[in-house]
Structure formats: C-alpha cells, structure tokens
Structure 1
Amino acid sequence: MFEITEAAQTTAGIVFLAAITVTSGGWFLTRVSLGSVEATEFQRSFFRAGHAHAGTLIILGLLCLLFTEATALTGFWQWLSRTGVLVAAILMPAGFFLSATGQGRTTPNRLIGLLWLGAGFLIAGLGTCGIGLLLG
C-alpha cells in the first residue's frame, strides 16, 4: 500500500468540495427539461454532455490523483499525472456549456476550443499516469 501525500490530500479535498457545484448543473438541466429555460435541441444535447463530462471526469481525476501516489513520478510529470484529468474536468464541461450559450443557438461558438484544450489535458494526464504506473 502507499501513503497519500499532503498535496494529494489537499487537492482531493478541494475537488470533493468543488464537485458540489456539479449539482448546479443538474438543477439547470432539470429546468431545461421542464421547459423553464428555453433551449434548442443542440443546446440541450451540449448541456447534457457538459454535465455528464463534469461528473465522470471528476471521478476519473480523483482516481488519477490517488494512483499517481503509487508512481515514482516527480515535478511536472507528477503534476500532470495528478491533475491533468482534473483540469480536463473543468475545461471540457466549460467548453460544452459556454459554446452553447446564447438564445436560439444551433451550433457551437468559438468557446468550443475549451473542449479540445480539455481533451488535450485528459489525454496527457491519463497517458502520464498510465506510463508512471507501468514504470513503477
């Protein structure tokens, strides 16, 4: 077994508290579903995708945070392994939600770039964590 460093413990605590904000996305989606918030079909699908990615990536990010503790990674590589997926958990949902904002929108605006930036962090974080675990 391994011990959790203070840095990982602090990060996990912040992430758990921040995860509470995902409930506001659920509340917003409920309002969209009930028709209290007007949205196009495109917007509904992007709002659902943003909410789903937020929850899923937070869980995956917490796993990477813990598994990084079992690696010999240091410095930048440790940071990327520990937090890359958590950065993606912010950027990707932001890309979905923010690129769909605006009355009657049927296509994403330029903020869709946040989604792709987040995807880069997701790939980098997962890859670094996986390689770090394989190398020991």
Structure 2
Amino acid sequence: MMTSISKLMCGITILTVPTIAYGGYFLLTILSGSVKIPLTDFQKAMFRAGHAHAGVLVLLSLIAQLLLDNTQMSPGLDLATRIAFPLAAILISSGFFASAGGSGLTQPNKFIIILYAGALLLVAGLIVLGVGLIKSR
C-alpha cells in the first residue's frame, strides 16, 4: 500500500507531465520546421536530450517513491531522498536546455553546471535508495 507521502509526491510529479508533453509538442514544431527558430545542430541535440531526460527521470521518480515505501530509513533521509528524485529530473532536463540557450551556440554555456548538479543529486538519491532497500530486506 502506498504511504501518504508517496501519494503526495507521485501526485505532484504526475502534474508535471503535461509540461513535458507540451515541451515535446513545441520541440516537434521547431524540429519539423513549423516554427522558425534558428538552432544549431548542437542546440537541437541538447533540447532533444533535455526532453528525453525529463520523461525518463520523471518515470524513475515515480518508481522511486514506491520503492522508498519499502525502506526503513529516518524520516528526514526518507523525505530528502523522495525530493531528490523529482528535483534531479528538473535540474538535469533544465540543465540541457539552459546550457544550450542562446544564439548560435555550438557548445554548452556556463549553465551546464545545472545538469551536473542534477546528476550528482540523482546519483546520491540512487545510492541512498539502493542501500535503504538492501538494509531493509
């Protein structure tokens, strides 16, 4: 059975999916040429990666919430880990977009740090969740 906090986190996370769907629609209009926004190949690749990572990491976040219900960690660590997964999804995907934003970019700008911060947060969350599951078996 899902805990109350899992239901809350999953509900909030699911509410982000329409923004991902709209982002996919907008990206499709750009890549198909329906909307004329001049993008370099680098920018197109980064925007595709940002969109793909958003979708995949939101799914991982939902699964993680259910898995966290089966661990026996302190309430503070549990909450921090629950928040880490959707926050990592936001940071990683926005890092792809932000680091490619600008006119004519062919390599990441300084905002690539957002992506790296999200990746570190994701790895930390995965390690805590994995250890928590192993310890609670």
TM bin, normalised by shorter chain, reads over 0.9
Gaps of 5+ in 1: none
Matches within 5 A, 1:29-48: 29-35=27-33, 36=35, 37-48=37-48
Q: Distance in 1 between matches of 2:110 and 2:30?
A: 23
Q: Deviations over 1:49-86 (max 9, x none)?
A: 00000000000111111100001012332123323221
Matches within 5 A, 1:1-136: 3-35=1-33, 36=35, 37-136=37-136
Aligned length, in residue pairs = 134
What one-letter code is carried by the residue in structure 2 that aligns with 1:39? L
What one-letter code is carried by the residue in structure 1 that aligns with 2:41? E
Q: Distance in 2 between matches of 1:131 and 1:81?
A: 12
Q: Distance in 1 between matches of 2:52 and 2:127?
A: 22
Partner SS for 2:16: helix
TM-score, normalised with respect to structure 1: 0.93
8 Å contact from structure 1 (residues 80, 128) kept in 2: no
Q: Distance in 1 between matches of 2:79 and 2:86?
A: 11
Q: Distance in 2 between matches of 1:128 and 1:103?
A: 40
Percent of pairs identical after alignment? 40
Partner SS for 1:51: helix
What one-letter code is carried by the residue in structure 2 that aligns with 1:97? F
Gaps of 5+ in 2: none
